[in-house]
Structure 1
């Protein structure tokens, strides 16, 4: 195998390329293939010149190579520092290196070095300092990294099929659970729940899919970056670019199946707006995953950070908690992509709905629902939405009053404290979160890639 590698390097040298290599104890047939030889010992040059002339030089130094002995083994043995004989060996090495310095080859070497140093002008030094440390242009790096990262994904077709299969299976299961909702009082809660489950599934699935991207590849990236192979920005951009198709196709499959099985607003305009919101939401989630991946020292730490981030933003998403009155914690909802994504989907779904049915009328001509509150409940301070008035009744367990029947989608949005006019605002904030998280992720990985 070593002979085969040596022959390939000889072929490259014959093509005009310069080949510099080190080799550990080469066999004699390999050593004979060397053109020029450099021997270093104790940081000094012991020999530099024609490989076949090395034996003659060592003979002049009174260290001749024995007959029928591998010259490479002889040179290593003469120049090595043997344990227990350090002083003797160092004196021997010093003698050989000094003789080389005084030889014609050594003088020529010093002259070449001095000549080369004089030829480097101040202008050339300035140009050298300004020259890019990278061996290829930005576009060449971008093209090569895009191709390499794409190959890394396509080499795992089973994983791609598994992600698509997971999206189809989970969407069908959820679609069966929420199947065929109608525009009535129960359908309101079910449709809202289906949308929030959609946001939650997108958040957990998309984030766990990318959380290990940068922290797992960091050692390889740093090694190649410091070797001048590519820039930080080209690596960061291309690594995200190849993930875009998956972050578009997978959510599209999931939403399409769930949307029509549940029975949400089937107007084409509403569906495509909802699809756009979900795709933008996924980009925000992926951006947050990239940010945590860039900040985490390893995959295990990243996986521990994800729940700590997801749980608070999920609670402030507008489904479990009405964010209209959360006290001093109100600032958390402004960082919640659940809040903006869920609100945008709700506004798109309910803003134009006016035909929500109510339960059949009872004895009276009222479509109001009756409920009983505990006696401690202060009904005088309870405000019903949309100016409905409560009818106070006296009961043993406490006062009774009637809750209004929701007839329009805007009443649904009022209950959730969502403004129907905030659709563009919520979409804009999703864009801000996506761009902001990616910029912070770039800053994080750039700081880790800086040379000390």
Structure 2
């Protein structure tokens, strides 16, 4: 049974039990979604948001996007911003929210209870955006619990769970609370209507006084669109101020708005009750046809047709000019002046502590990683298969003559390569996967970027450590490496450090490159150069001077050298038996650890330096990665 049928059946049952409220508009009866406003929500303080003479333009081109637009919305009102495409409604909403105004010149004021708040409006409002951005592998309840920890500052675990339970009931999400959210069109999950209500649920957790919504009905069928608007209407009736942009609402939805604001070419064409738009159009000689959608009729009058551009512009200019001198416009200006005198500080939501932010985000990332088959099961399976393959390929390599030592050097270097490539290309999606979600939640004031970065990095550490352990653990004893638990432990530690170096480098590329394809294109050549200077393909002591410096940037070299020092010191030591010829003689070879390492131009005394170099490489790359993420998120506002 699809969601529409499920809701219809549920509403019929609720009607029989007299648990729903019917909203009557003339001859149309709209069954409202069961939405029980909690008692404490009726005690919301009165809030009025007003915008005064807003003019927005592009400084370079001089193009005016909004031209002297004013308006207001009070507690208990559901206000719709409408207009044809390009009319300026989205820009107006962004201006009210102080978002996405980069490279724009802004004149005018936005006041809340008579006070300018700027970007701090985030802490007194909720913003339901059009895009449904979630961690798709989380369930609905898990998502809300994590959001509640970030939004309900100072609340106990019991209070958080109670609030989440209330929201699940209020927005009729209880039936899908254990379902994974999914990604529409890509990964099966909850329905479109449920996803849209989940957006509202997140914003309602902190009980905001003002709610903004950008195209809340886009992509929904008429039935689900009505249910979403019913929710918004109930929110307004509970004492909140609700403002939304909307495109082509049905007649039923249009009548639910308390006020509608029509924009045309950046100017204000009408601001008032929906029912009076018929009278307004008639006054200009543009009567609305019988049984025609009022919203569509109004938008048609305010649209510019391709082949009648001049006539349309004259009509729009006439309507906007008439509005500026109308009685309603004069009343609005008087009310706006009164609002400037009301200086009441609205209640602000506090930001969670750094520890709470980090712990909540860490839990979310861990859940997402564990349920990611490509990052968890597939990678571990790949490491096990490759480990067994290496073990079989170099099975019990002996004797330790020239060929045997060369084979084991190859096995150790391949382990370094396998750990690097799989880790780096697995984490290089660090930015593309989450970027839009980070931008949204950061600008919603939920957390700072450092908390997200630390939580994300630490959530990867266990997975990558396990990768290295599986690869080395499945190949070590088969290949003929030193059969010693201590040396085995060192090999595991080196494997983990190699993976962390590769992961840090991948994060750095992910945040520094503008897109995923660019990051992949850049990563390939860099890894080739670093691997070629890693100590196996070319002797690091014989590299040309103009390229020799590259080896000091290569964790391939540090990892391979540390691995080789640990193994050959454990396998050979420095006591060469008598009657042994030179190491390079393949007939009889009794090499020492020093001779093997010297042949590779490795210094046995550099073991701890190599360990420290990999740790330093990891921290430097993570630091650069954090700076890249910080800059890109801030530029995205």
Question: Match of 2:49?
Answer: none
* Residue in structure 2 matching 1:367, options 580, 591, 596: 580
**How far apart are the structure 2 equivalents of 1:428 and 1:80?**
66
Aligned residues: 409
| Residues 558 and 614, structure 2, Cα contact 8 Å, conserved in 1 | yes
1:163 and 2:379 are equivalent in the alignment: yes
The 8 Å contact of residues 487 and 570 in structure 2, kept in 1 or not, is answered as no
Pairing partner for 1:250 from 441, 457, 467: 467
Q: Equivalent of 1:345, from 556, 563, 567?
A: 563
Match of 1:294 in 2: 511
Superposed CA RMSD? 3.9
Name the counterpart of 1:436: 620
CA distance in 2, matches of 1:170, 1:68: 70
- Is the CA contact (8 Å cut-off) linking 2:572 and 2:591 kept in structure 1? yes
Q: Match for 1:35 among 258, 272, 275?
A: 258
TM-score by length of 2: 0.55
Matched, 1:281 2:498: yes
Structure 2 equivalent of residue 176 of structure 1: 392
Q: Which has the higher helix share?
A: 1
Residues in 1 aligned to 2:574 and 2:393: alpha-carbon distance in whole angstroms? 21
Q: Tell me how far 1:221 sits from its aligned partner.
A: 5.4
Q: Secondary structure at the match of 1:173?
A: helix
2:235 aligns with 12
Contact 1:185 1:357 in 2 (8 A): no
Determine the C-alpha separation between the residues in 1 that align with 2:591 and 2:313.
97
Quick check: 102-111 or 414-423, which moved more?
Answer: 102-111
Instruction: Map 1:6-155; keep pairs closer than 5 Å.
Output: 6-56=229-279, 70-81=293-304, 93-117=316-340, 142=358, 145-146=361-362, 149-155=365-371
Match of 1:47, SS state, is strand
Deviation of the 1:195 alpha carbon: 1.1
CA offsets 1:267-324 (integer angstroms, 9 cap, x no match): 3332222211110111111112222233333333333333311222222222232222
Q: Deviations over 1:52-105 (max 9, x none)?
A: 344455566676656665543443454445666666655555554455444443
Q: Which has the higher strand share?
A: 2
User: 1:204: Cα distance to partner?
Assistant: 1.9
CA–CA separation in structure 1 for the residues paired with 2:299 and 2:327: 23
User: Unpaired runs of 5+ in structure 1?
Assistant: 125-130, 360-364, 373-401
Q: CA deviation at 1:12?
A: 2.3
User: Which protein shows a greater Rg?
Assistant: 1
1:414 maps to: 598
Structure 2, unmatched stretches of 5+, are 1-222
Quote the residue 1:192 is aligned against. Answer: 409
TM-score normalised by length of structure 1: 0.75
